[in-house]
């Protein structure tokens, strides 16, 4: 038998108006960890969807061989039966079902029409142990954070006896700790003979775990590297991804903060369901004009909850404390009121909070600026198109037209639409929650450039970031949170990764 578990030959895939993949060839060795890199919209997710039956045979050209024979999958179930499991970029669990139901959903056996639930509860415990998740199998999935949900997806793949595991940006929503655990798990699978293909924009992680790296650019396979043999570096990957050298990952910016524009005192937020629990406890901070603040801390530290609560009480059952903007005490009760006072918010969860997937790009971008774009209550559709076109060029949103439905964009390009929407609303204070999640290195630099332009124009930015290099590279000051409290603050000059981590734990 061949040493390759997966072979792709000259695969071409077109969508109306877009050639997503062109003559892509790729070989994955049995037992290796193979990483797929490329800019947003390069075709990574589409390629994996073709080989796993999401796009059935006949909807693409070219050949795919799995375990030595040519595949002919009509749907995902077909590929799962053969031992191929794919974990998509956007998690696909059923939030209101339990862990074990999610693990076995769609592949439970019945006896005389009856499901033996106890058997599945017991079996799911084993898989949960393997992935290191210690939650009762009966737990409802929506109660768990993304990190844990990710592990359930993997447990689900294991329950299907996967031989080839495809992970599309598995760590994009995880913090450093969780990411490391997940990568170790994949290394452990490798020891057990399971092959993995990982799509990731986190190049340091790619180099840590991958044996082989293939780079896609504009729908074409550019090159495959042997990580050790070719002494592969992040710079080499980036160069092939973007087709040029990228000089500055964090563009330079002059920092000259002005007066205090926002001040928060003793802000406390109560849990939306368990009203006695404080999710944020007496947080106090200030923000100056022309300043970028970063909020760092482990997942669950309360950063998103704090900011969403300040943003028109969009989180929590109630809150206490004082919020001043430009000296005035404000008490917003809706996101709309917050927007009207010059606040903007880019949410971390683009799917449920940031975008309407079944609408087109221009409508989504205009969403927070309806007032600005209409006169006497009538929408100026020409203006809407112009603004959308402007951001399409500026942020390089990869799409043939701003009439494209957001659902059809690649993950990173969807994020760019979220960013465009907030920029168009032109807020004085922009809160961004994980602004560059799932965004490729080139586009990241573009978003940083735009943030810097906003600062130069006298705006202020609060950035929640789990990527410490990003916080260190961009912020003037860093607030460190943990367990609902602000543990301390560091200025750019004194901040290091070690100090931030130490502060989060010790205070
Ligand atoms: N259903 C669809 N209809 C139309 N175009 C699509 C569809 N799915 C993907 N595309 C287009 O195909 C191209 C490749 O998208 P794909 O999602 O594979 O990119 P990606 O490499 O996974 O990017 P990212 O890093 O942002 O996730 C993009 O230009 C995208 O807009
Ligand atoms: Mg993708």
Residue 40 CA, ligand 1 centroid: distance in Å: 8
Strand order in the sheet with 429-433: 343-346, 429-433, 460-464, 292-296, 477-482, 485-491
Q: What is the pLDDT of residue 362?
A: 93
User: Ligand 1, closest atom to CA 46?
Assistant: 18
413 lines ligand 1 (CB under 6 A): yes
Rounded Cα distance, 478 and 332, in Å: 25
15 lines ligand 1 (CB under 6 A): yes
List the structure tokens of 434.
């994980």
- pLDDT > 70 fraction of the chain, expressed in percent and rounded: 98
Tens-digit pLDDT profile for residues 52-106: 999 998 999 999 999 999 998 999 889 999 999 999 877 788 888 999 999 998 7
Angle at 460 between CA 321 and CA 338, to 5 degrees: 50
Q: Return the residue matching tokens 């989180």.
A: 315
Tens-digit pLDDT profile for residues 303-336: 999 999 999 988 889 999 999 999 999 988 888 8
CA atoms within 13 A on the CB side of 125: 7
**274 pLDDT band (50/70/90 cuts)?**
confident
Rounded Cα distance, 404 and 387, in Å: 15
**469 pLDDT band (50/70/90 cuts)?**
confident
Rounded Cα distance, 415 and 180, in Å: 24
Q: Is 303 helix (H, G, I), strand (E, B) or coil?
A: helix
Rounded Cα distance, 490 and 501, in Å: 12
**398 pLDDT band (50/70/90 cuts)?**
confident
* Averaged confidence pLDDT in the chain: 89
Q: Is 249 a residue whose pLDDT tops 90?
A: no
**368 pLDDT band (50/70/90 cuts)?**
confident
Q: What pTM was estimated for this model as a whole?
A: 0.75
Rg of the chain (C-alpha set): 24
Q: Is 367 a residue whose pLDDT tops 70?
A: yes
List the structure tokens of 495.
């901040």
User: Ligand 1, closest atom to CA 412?
Assistant: 26
Tens-digit pLDDT profile for residues 177-233: 888 888 999 999 999 999 999 999 999 999 999 999 999 998 999 999 999 999 999
Rounded Cα distance, 495 and 71, in Å: 53
**174 pLDDT band (50/70/90 cuts)?**
confident
Rounded Cα distance, 141 and 155, in Å: 13
Q: What phi and psi values does residue 376 have, to the nearest 5 degrees?
A: 50, 40
Residue 28 CA, ligand 2 centroid: distance in Å: 19
427 lines ligand 1 (CB under 6 A): no
User: Ligand 1, closest atom to CA 43?
Assistant: 18
User: Ligand 1, closest atom to CA 38?
Assistant: 21
List the structure tokens of 411.
């993950």
Q: Is-contact 441 234, C-beta < 8 A? A: no
Residue 259 CA, ligand 1 centroid: distance in Å: 43
302 lines ligand 1 (CB under 6 A): no
Q: DSSP string covering 173-231, please? A: T--HHHHHHHHHHHHHHHHTT-EEEEE-S-HHHHHHH-SEEEEEETTEEEEEEETTTTT
Write down the number of H helices and E strands in the chain. 17, 24
- pLDDT > 90 fraction of the chain, expressed in percent and rounded: 54
Rounded Cα distance, 13 and 29, in Å: 23
409 lines ligand 1 (CB under 6 A): yes
Q: What is the pLDDT of residue 248?
A: 63
Return all residues near 494 (Cβ < 8 A) that are at least 6 apart: none
175 lines ligand 1 (CB under 6 A): no
Candidates 432, 433, 398, 431; CA nearest to 417 is 398
Q: How far is CA 438 from the centre of its chain?
A: 4
Q: What is the pLDDT of residue 350?
A: 63
Rounded Cα distance, 105 and 125, in Å: 15
List the structure tokens of 159.
């329950």
Least confident of 114-123, 130-139, 304-313: 114-123
Give the mean pLDDT of 451-465.
93
Q: At what angle do helices 117-131 and 146-159 cross, to 10 degrees?
A: 120
Q: Return the residue matching tokens 């929590």.
A: 316
Candidates 295, 254, 293, 234; CA nearest to 441 is 234
**245 pLDDT band (50/70/90 cuts)?**
low
């Amino acid at each position: 038998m061949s040493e390759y578990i997966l072979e792709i030959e000259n695969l071409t895939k077109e969508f109306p108006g877009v050639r997503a993949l062109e003559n892509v060839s790729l070989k994955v060795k049995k037992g290796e960890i193979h990483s797929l890199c490329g800019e947003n919209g390069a075709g990574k997710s589409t390629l994996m969807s073709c080989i796993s039956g999401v796009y059935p045979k006949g909807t693409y050209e070219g050949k795919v061989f799995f375990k030595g024979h040519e595949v002919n999958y009509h749907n995902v179930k077909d590929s799962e039966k053969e031992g191929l499991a794919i974990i998509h970029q956007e998690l696909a669990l059923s939030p209101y079902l339990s862990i074990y139901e999610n693990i076995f959903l769609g592949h439970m056996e019945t006896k005389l029409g009856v499901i033996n639930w106890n058997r599945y509860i017991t079996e799911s415990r084993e898989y949960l142990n393997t992935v290191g998740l210690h939650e009762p199998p009966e737990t409802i999935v929506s109660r768990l954070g993304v990190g844990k949900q990710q592990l359930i997806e993997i447990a689900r793949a294991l329950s299907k006896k996967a031989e080839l595991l495809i992970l599309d940006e598995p760590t994009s929503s995880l913090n450093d700790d969780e990411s490391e655990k997940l990568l170790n798990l994949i290394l452990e699978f490798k020891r057990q003979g399971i092959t993995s293909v990982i799509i990731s924009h986190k190049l340091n992680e790619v180099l840590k775990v991958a044996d082989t790296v293939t780079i896609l650019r504009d729908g074409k396979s550019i090159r495959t590297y042997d990580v050790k043999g070719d002494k592969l570096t992040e710079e080499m990957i980036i160069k092939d991804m973007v087709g040029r050298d990228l000089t500055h990952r964090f563009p330079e910016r002059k920092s000259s903060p002005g007066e205090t524009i926002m001040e928060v005192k003793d802000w406390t937020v109560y849990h939306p369901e368990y009203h006695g629990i404080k999710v944020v406890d007496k947080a106090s901070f200030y923000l100056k004009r022309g300043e970028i603040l970063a909020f760092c801390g482990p997942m669950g530290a309360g950063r998103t909850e704090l900011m969403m609560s300040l943003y028109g009480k969009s989180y929590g059952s109630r809150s206490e404390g004082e919020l001043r903007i430009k000296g005035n005490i404000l008490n917003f009760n809706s996101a709309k009121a917050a927007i009207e006072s010059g606040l903007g918010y880019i949410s971390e969860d683009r799917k449920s909070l940031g975008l309407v997937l079944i609408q087109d790009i221009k409508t989504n971008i205009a969403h927070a600026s309806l007032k600005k774009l209409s006169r006497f209550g009538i929408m100026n559709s020409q203006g809407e198109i112009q603004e959308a076109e402007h951001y399409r060029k500026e942020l390089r949103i990869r799409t043939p037209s701003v009439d494209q439905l957001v659902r059809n964009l690649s993950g990173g390009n969807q994020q760019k639409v979220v960013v465009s929407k907030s920029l168009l609303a032109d807020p004085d204070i922009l809160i961004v929650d994980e602004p560059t999640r799932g965004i490729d290195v080139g586009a990241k630099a573009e978003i940083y450039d735009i943030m810097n332009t906003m600062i130069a124009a006298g705006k202020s930015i609060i950035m929640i970031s789990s990527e410490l290099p990003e916080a260190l590279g961009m912020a003037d000051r860093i607030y460190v949170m943990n367990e609902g409290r602000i543990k301390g603050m560091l200025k750019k000059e004194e901040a290091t990764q070690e100090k931030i981590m130490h502060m989060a734990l010790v205070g």
